[in-house]
Amino acid sequence: MTETLETPTTEAQKYVGGGVLRKEDPELLTGQAQFIDNIVLPGMVWVGVVRSPYAHARIGSVDLSRAREHEGVVAAFSGADLQEDWAAALPCAWPIQTRSFPTPTDEDARMPTHWPLASDKARFAGDGVAVVVAESRADVKDALELVDVEYDPLDPVLELEDALKDDAPTIHEDLGDNRAYTWSLGDADATQRLFDDAAVTIKERYWHPRLIPNAIEPRGVVVQPTPAMGEFTMWSATQVPHIAKITLSLSLGIPETKLRVIAPDVGGGFGSKLNVYAEEAICLAVARRLGRPVKWIEERTENYLATIHGRGVLQEMELAATAEGKVTAVRARLTADFGAYYQLVTPGIPLLGAFLYGGVYEVQGYFFECSGVFTNKTPTDAYRGAGRPEATYAIERAMDALARRVGKDPAEVRRLNFIPPFDEAKEVASGLQFDSGDYEATFDRALERADYDGLRREQEERRTRGDTKLLGIGLSSYIEMCGLAPSQVLAALKYGAGGWDAATIRCHPTGKVTVVTGTSPHGQGHVTSWAQIAADELGVPFDDVEVLHGDTAISPLGMDTYGSRSLAVGGIALWNAAQKIKEKARKIAAHELEVAADDVEFADGAFRVRGVPDRVKTIPELAFSAWTAHNLPPDTEPGLEATYVFDPPNFTFPSGTHVCVVEVDTETGKVDILKYVAVDDCGNVINPMIVEGQVHGGVAQGIAEALYEEAIYDDQGQLMTSSMHSYRVPSAAELPAFVTDRTTTPSTTNPMGVKGVGEAGTIAAPPAVVNAVLDALAPLGVTDLQIPLTPERVWRAIKDAKGGQS
């Protein structure tokens, strides 16, 4: 069942599975891409946001007079000034209420109100309180300094435990306290019984620090109003132009038909641009007031303060197992730091991991519970992996803890527990239907590529000779749920929108093809992948396919890009649209060839009369016929164009095993990664080069999470890591060369058998790295370390293990 798809599998597949170069790259590499900051419009003015320096403070007077007098300033507004511009607060599309899933409850979700500008209280350092509009960016920067805001500082709520105390200051007074919700999944009593009966139980506690997404291009917004028509065009460096259009039309009270949203070339997002932000609403409001085009470009420090953060989760993970190490039950309890407000999907993030705490293992008992709290910090929301890195970290670290407890090699304990291979959807303890998988095959391949046995020998040799540089081998077998998502499942999880996506194929009379997709790539190479799919399905050259995206006027139907959904949902919509094109083209071909439609087959990229191979009609020929409409079959509309909207029947479940090999210097605490092997199973592959790139980027981010990155606040709620000086984003120099490989279990969720890959590396890597470091330090008895594993933390752990001697 396990195979590697490196090259196209059939004669007709010229491009899918093959390594074509990315269509996007010439434009990007030659500086011809159109990023938001390249957009300059006549009469355009700049917007800047005054941000609260306090984490928690009442806002008194906001004096804009000095700013208004500054050269070049066109206007300035306080939060109160703009209050009448909002028809509704900023959106949260995933309101979760306190409940047990799937038991219904009448309790309403507790939703903090989030206005684009605060006027009563600032609730985090960076919360916007006023805006200045000026002719140039420099004028805006100067004038921002001249806005005098009177603050009455309040005690900030910063730590999770403190936020829940009875005497904690309340961040949203109307909610009564700082509790967001408690949501649970699974049978608590049945799971408890398995724990009561277990020979071995494991209980671990993991803190996932906040992470700051660092897209290479910060956010930015340009709005062009057409006052006479009441129309607005908004360019935004966003992952979600479609969602932004709907939600902002509601927040601003602009008819949806009068708002066009364009995502130009977008330089990465990693989930942080899966959001609808205050600055988008502010720019629309200011453009509406002034009747002039406006522009706001985020600075890196603003990015750190006012774009969402990821993670910020405390996990308590428990396993029940037999004395041999066979897991019988898992129980996970989370407390999540949501920050000061809900952003677009903040409350839903833990639910994306909630079903995956059993990992790739066969377990009977399953219980998950998450409590969310508000704090006076930047809101958290989706950051690459969103919920699934936390789940994978918990189960994979706990599996190593179990191996230690039962005295077995971590590889042996995993083998004892893997779900056996399956190629039909299979229900697991959390209630999900995994689509297909062969976890042990992937595991075997990874261990073989890493030379696991050889590494264990070298590790022993180093230990025996008393080497100060110890070798550690870390394993991480992950599963993720992506391809978000079946709309009915989203409804059950209280998500506010559907999970479908759409594609249109337009076959032009000259033979060229336009694909319009509802996905919104920002680095993932959809233009290339989609052209591969369309070219193969329609039998046209790859270069003849243009792919359009990211503009609500051009692709009105779409659900955008996040959750590694684009191929498994949008790509499948495209595949289905191609089948519709072929259905219509077959009728026209049969008519022209004067045979019955059933006598015509589509093979090797063209229609042929069965048994008469030289009677051929190609799609470009038929597109021309459909356009002239001179000789169409009865009841056939002219033109060759089709749209398909695909709502997937299930998620896809990519999986894999990553092996990290580290050397830990016991004298300095420095960790060096010597080898990193990633074997992933993302079903059939459209573009191996893109998949490899996705894995590389994801693993880099996962290693960063394990070794380098952490948002740190001081005791007043000031972000101490507010620039790239202090927030350590690794470069290629800190990262090893990656060994990548794949196994393939085609997904049963879609006709192409594809699963997502966009987040795989970020999900797999952190526990692989941490397990490796703990494995290296096993002889010293170190069993836990806090991420990121800075040299100081590792050195202190070694010192403590040695009884205080370094």
Task: By CB under 6 A, name the binding residues for ligand MCN.
Answer: 215, 268-271, 384, 522-526, 529, 561-568, 571, 682-683, 685-687, 690-691, 694, 697, 754-759
At its nearest, how many Å lie between ligand MCN and the CB of residue 686?
Answer: 3
Say if residues 472 and 775 touch (Cβ distance below 8 Å).
yes
Nearest distance in Å: CB 750, ligand MCN: 10
Plot region of 714 (φ>0 → left; ψ -120 to 50 → alpha; else → beta): beta
* Residue of 523, 533, 481 whose CA lies nearest to 696: 523
Sign of the four-CA dihedral 443, 447, 452, 453: positive
Taking the complex as a whole, the smallest distance from the CB of residue 507 to ligand MCN amounts, in Å, to: 22
Q: Which is nearer to ligand MCN, 121 or 526 (CB)?
A: 526
Instruction: Answer left, alpha or beta for residue 126, where phi above 0 means left and psi between -120 and 50 means alpha.
Output: left
Task: Count other C-beta atoms under 10 Å from residue 567's C-beta.
Answer: 34
**Shortest Å, Cβ 744 to ligand MCN:** 9
Output 206 or 575, the one with its CB closest to ligand MCN. 575
Residue among 112 and 570 whose Cβ is closer to ligand MCN: 570
Instruction: Report the C-alpha gap between 165 and 161 in whole angstroms.
Output: 7
Adjacency order of strands within the sheet including 600-603: 600-603, 606-609, 612-617
In the complex with ligand MCN, which residue's Cβ is closer, 15 or 795? 15
Check: CB of residue 517 under 8 Å from CB of residue 503.
Answer: yes
Residue closer to ligand MCN (CB basis): 260 or 696: 696
- Dmax (CA) for the chain in angstroms is 91
Identity of the residue, 5 or 146, whose beta carbon is nearer to ligand MCN in the bound complex:
5
With respect to ligand MCN, which residue has the nearer C-beta, 209 or 271?
271
Q: How far is the CB of 22 from ligand MCN (least distance, A)?
A: 9
Query: 225 or 563, CB closer to ligand MCN?
Result: 563
Min dist CB 20 to ligand MCN, Å, is: 11
Least separation in angstroms between CB 82 and ligand MCN: 31
The distance of closest approach from Cβ of residue 64 to ligand MCN in the complex, given in angstroms and rounded to an integer, is: 37
Question: For strand 501-507 and strand 73-78, is the pairing parallel, antiparallel, or unpaired?
Answer: unpaired
Question: Which lies closer to ligand MCN via its Cβ, residue 249 or residue 747?
Answer: 747
User: Where on the phi/psi map is residue 7: left (φ > 0), alpha (ψ -120 to 50), or beta?
Assistant: beta
Q: Distance (Å, rounded) from C-alpha 79 to C-alpha 88?
A: 14
Retrieve residue 370's tokens: 């998450």
3 state DSSP class of 142: helix
Q: Closest CB to ligand MCN among 549 and 608? A: 549
Other beta carbons within 10 angstroms of residue 229's beta carbon come to: 8
Nearer to ligand MCN, 569 or 797 (CB): 569
CB of 467 to ligand MCN, least distance (A): 39
Rounded Cα distance between 773 and 535, Å, is 47
Residue positions counted in the chain: 806
* Closest C-alpha among 236, 287, 304 to residue 710: 304
Instruction: Report d(CA 625, CA 135) in Å as an integer.
Output: 54
Contacts of 30 by beta carbon, 8 Å cutoff, 6+ apart: none
Shortest Å distance, C-beta 644 to ligand MCN:
17
Radius of gyration of the chain, Cα coordinates, nearest whole angstrom:
28
Element housing 446 (H / E): helix 439-450
- Beta carbon of residue 523, minimum distance to ligand MCN (angstroms, whole number): 2
